[in-house]
Amino acid sequence: MNNPLGVLFSPFTNKSLTLKNRVAMAPMTRTFSPDYIPGPHVADYYRRRAEAGVGLIITEGTTIPHKASNGYERVPAMHGEKALAGWKNVVDEVHAGGGKIIPQIWHVGAVRKAGVGPDKDVPGYSPSGLFKPGKETGVAMSKEDINEVIEAFAQAALNAKNCGFDGVEIHGAHGYLIDQFFWEGTNQRDDEYGGSLENRVRFGVEVVKAVRAAVGETFSIVFRFSQWKQQDYNAKLAQTPEELKAFLMPLSEAGVDIFHASTRRFWDPEFENSKLNLAGWTKELTGKPTMTVGSVGLDGDFVGDGNFDMRSTANPTGIDSLVDRMNKGEFDLVAVGRALLVDPEWLHKVQDNALDEIKPYTKESLMTLS
């Protein structure tokens, strides 16, 4: 008898990533790293998911070595001797638990407010000093600032490689810095980084190229992007498949190996006259492997930015439609967020068809590292 979940448990390989199955833990900010250092409790948190069968752990967002990259207290850094020692322990624990792990490297851009982070006087840095259309915050980046941030992304990626991570994910989604360059609503520049879609993608392309140069050709680079923003759930970078291709291909050619297409609901079609979701269209247009995400295993989507403030409650539900889409080759990997945050054993319970034993997600789940 065929296993209906077989595709979910088939192996996947891409350069430095060799996974035993197609399930990843999605990156979710947890703010449990005092002094920006991931401690043993963080290592235990990720190891529990690896021991419970999750093939790939994508860490919470980790800050790059730039003065304005941090937007929240107790978020771990991917720089500094103590933080990197903490990450080395996390990596070792996840590997001992049978999983693979990549960090998400992150700059929050205009989301940052003064009073946060190691240097609390630093303002937010962004393309045009805008948090969203009409709302000014922080400072607009000079070309020198842009070059410094690109170098900081590259250094963070190299730090991750030196810690023993299996690849790296660049956070280009949800209205943070890279996405602020992508989005016309927050990018009002009149130089080579603003205006046309080609110009607005340029910063992200240069980040990817710098990361690739730092980590080498055989180290897997995942790039997370989204149409929606925490500032505007209805925002769109691309209104048509043609525009999406124009956005994605420069990033693909710059060195992205896997696209992590972030949506609030994985089952939503991205464009009219097609059932493909954003990950499906991305694979169709670029030929690269893709990862889908968005309320997997839950009966409701989140409220918040998808990375920090997930306030809604949701109950467990089946994943038959997800598996059906994977069997059709729509996407290659699936990232599971809140369902894995609240229940480390989620994948085992799905495999055993024990959905009634899966813990429901509540906002109280954010209060502890279970």
Evaluate whether residue 293 is within a structural domain: yes
pLDDT at 308: 45
Integer Cα distance of 233 and 248 in angstroms: 20
Integer Cα distance of 138 and 110 in angstroms: 6
Evaluate whether residue 261 is within a structural domain: yes
261 in Cβ contact with 225 (< 8 Å):
yes
pLDDT at 306: 42
Structural domain range at position 70? 6-367
Evaluate whether residue 1 is within a structural domain: no
pLDDT at 312: 58
CATH value at residue 118: 3.20.20.70
pLDDT at 269: 94
* CB atoms near residue 177 (< 10 Å): 32
Evaluate whether residue 40 is within a structural domain: yes
In DSSP terms, which residues pair with 106 in a beta bridge?
A: 63
Instruction: Quote the strand ranges of the chain, DSSP E.
Output: 12-14, 17-19, 23-25, 56-63, 100-106, 125-126, 130-132, 135-136, 139-140, 167-174, 220-229, 258-262, 290-293, 333-336
Question: Is 176 known to be catalytic?
Answer: yes
Integer Cα distance of 357 and 299 in angstroms: 15
pLDDT at 307: 45
What are the Cα distances from residue 329, in Å, to 30, 223, 259, 276, 322?
Answer: 32, 20, 15, 11, 11
Evaluate whether residue 214 is within a structural domain: yes
If you write DSSP's letter for every residue of 131-174 in order, what string do you get? EETTEE-SEEPPHHHHHHHHHHHHHHHHHHHHHT-SEEEEEEEE
Query: Pick the catalytic residue: 45, 46, 125, 176?
Result: 176
End-to-end C-alpha distance for the chain, whole angstroms: 35
pLDDT at 5: 87
- Percent composition of the chain: helix, strand, coil (DSSP 3-state, to 5): 35, 20, 45
Evaluate whether residue 85 is within a structural domain: yes
Evaluate whether residue 206 is within a structural domain: yes
pLDDT at 118: 87
- Digits of tens for pLDDT over the chain (370 positions)? 467 789 999 999 999 999 999 999 999 999 999 999 999 999 999 999 999 999 999 999 999 999 999 999 999 999 999 999 999 999 999 999 999 999 999 999 999 998 998 889 999 999 999 999 999 999 999 999 999 999 999 999 999 999 999 999 999 999 999 999 999 999 999 999 999 999 999 999 999 999 999 999 999 999 999 999 999 999 999 999 999 999 999 999 999 999 999 999 999 999 999 999 999 999 999 999 999 998 887 776 555 544 444 555 677 777 889 999 999 999 999 999 988 999 999 999 999 989 889 898 888 888 899 8
**Number of structural domains found in the chain:** 1
Evaluate whether residue 331 is within a structural domain: yes
Contacts of 307 (CB under 8 A, 6+ apart): 27, 28, 29, 61, 171, 174, 230
pLDDT at 224: 98
The predicted model scores a pTM of: 0.96
